[in-house]
Structures are given as structure tokens and as C-alpha cells.
């Protein structure tokens, strides 16, 4: 557990859905390193924004839940991201494959402070019309904790869930252990 103190902008959907969706897509244009953890990942304009940003910006790291990412709705666009050299890792919870990755958030190393997003809103076509929440804020402590969790999830997936990966090789800096299960 950790604590932060910061100003938080709150969105209650569906009333704030259009504003939240527009802000999310705008953040995907940020030219700084970004980490995204997501359960559902089907918002069509998002893929073009990520690919365009990855061509000229810092790296974008994505961790997606296995139960969603291997569906016919997500997989073709995940393959597009990988073909565009966007880092995508697919996995579950380190507690075991029976458990999902349910986070819907990101951090981006914006200046002067990292941009943070957390909420119940999936990154999907319909999430903005559903009853969901989004909180946005700038906080280095949150960023550091989120990235540490991302790194641990990514290492776990590449060591224990190699069969789920769409990328052919682990991302730079990830060295899976020699013992793994699929």
C-alpha cells in the first residue's frame, strides 16, 4: 500500500463519457514514454493514435489481459500494434491463470509531472456510454508504483505465460527465466 496527495479530475460516465474519451485519445498523442494496463482494449481510434505516436515518440508499453486480448475483436489490432513495433505483453494475474488483469489505467512521463489515469472504464468502443469512472491526475509516486507493477506483470507473463505472447521475443530488458509454464 502507498499513499498519494494530489489534485484529481473526476469523470462520471456516461455523462462525462465524451470528455473522458477525448482526453484519453489526446493522451495517446503524448510524445513521452507510456505504460498502459488494460482489461478490454477495443477502442478503434486508439490503435491509430498509438501507432502514430510510437513512430515518432518514446516507447509505449502495453499489458493486456489474456481473456480479452485473444478474442476476434482485439487480436487483429494487437497484431497491428506489434507489427508497428509497439511493445505488447499479454497475461493474467501473478496469482494464477484463473485470475484476470482488471486494471484500466496508464501513466505517461509528461513534463513537468507524469500524467496518470485510473478508473473502471475499459478502453473499448462502448465503455464511454456505460456507468464508469475515470480519475486523472499528475503524481510521480503513482507513476513509479504503476510502472513497478507493470514491470512485474510483464516479467511474470514472459516467464510463465510465454504461449500467450503475440510478440516473437521479449521486450528489451526482459529476460524470462528458463523454467516456465504456458
pTM metric for this prediction:
0.94
- Range of the structural domain that residue 153 is part of: 8-164
For 170, which DSSP code?
P
Please indicate, yes or no, if residue 169 is contained in any of the structural domains. Answer: no
Per residue in 121-137, pLDDT tens? Answer: 999 999 999 999 999 99
Per residue in 30-68, pLDDT tens? Answer: 999 999 999 999 999 999 999 999 998 789 999 999 988
Q: With contact defined as beta carbons under 8 Å apart, do 53 and 62 qualify?
A: no
Q: What is each CA distance from 10 to 24, 150, 180, 181, in whole angstroms?
A: 13, 23, 41, 40
Please indicate, yes or no, if residue 171 is contained in any of the structural domains. Answer: no
* Tally of domains within the chain: 1
Please indicate, yes or no, if residue 140 is contained in any of the structural domains. Answer: yes
Identify the CATH number of the domain in which residue 106 sits. 3.30.870.10
Amino acid at each position: 500500500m502507498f499513499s498519494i496527495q494530489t489534485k484529481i479530475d473526476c469523470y462520471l460516465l456516461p455523462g462525462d463519457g465524451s470528455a473522458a474519451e477525448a482526453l484519453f485519445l489526446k493522451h495517446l498523442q503524448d510524445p513521452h514514454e507510456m505504460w498502459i494496463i488494460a482489461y478490454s482494449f477495443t477502442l478503434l481510434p486508439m490503435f491509430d493514435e498509438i501507432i502514430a505516436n510510437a513512430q515518432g515518440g518514446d516507447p509505449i508499453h502495453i499489458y493486456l489481459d489474456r481473456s480479452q486480448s485473444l478474442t476476434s475483436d482485439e487480436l487483429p489490432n494487437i497484431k497491428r500494434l506489434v507489427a508497428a513495433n509497439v511493445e505488447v505483453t499479454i497475461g493474467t494475474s501473478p496469482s494464477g491463470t484463473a485470475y484476470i488483469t482488471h486494471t484500466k489505467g496508464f501513466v505517461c512521463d509528461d513534463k513537468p509531472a507524469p500524467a496518470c489515469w485510473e478508473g473502471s472504464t475499459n478502453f473499448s468502443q462502448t465503455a464511454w456510454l456505460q456507468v464508469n469512472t475515470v480519475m486523472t491526475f499528475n503524481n510521480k509516486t503513482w507513476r513509479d508504483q504503476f510502472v513497478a507493477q507493470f514491470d512485474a506483470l510483464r516479467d511474470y507473463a514472459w516467464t510463465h505465460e510465454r504461449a500467450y505472447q503475440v510478440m516473437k521475443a521479449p521486450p528489451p530488458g526482459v529476460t524470462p527465466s528458463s523454467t516456465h509454464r504456458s
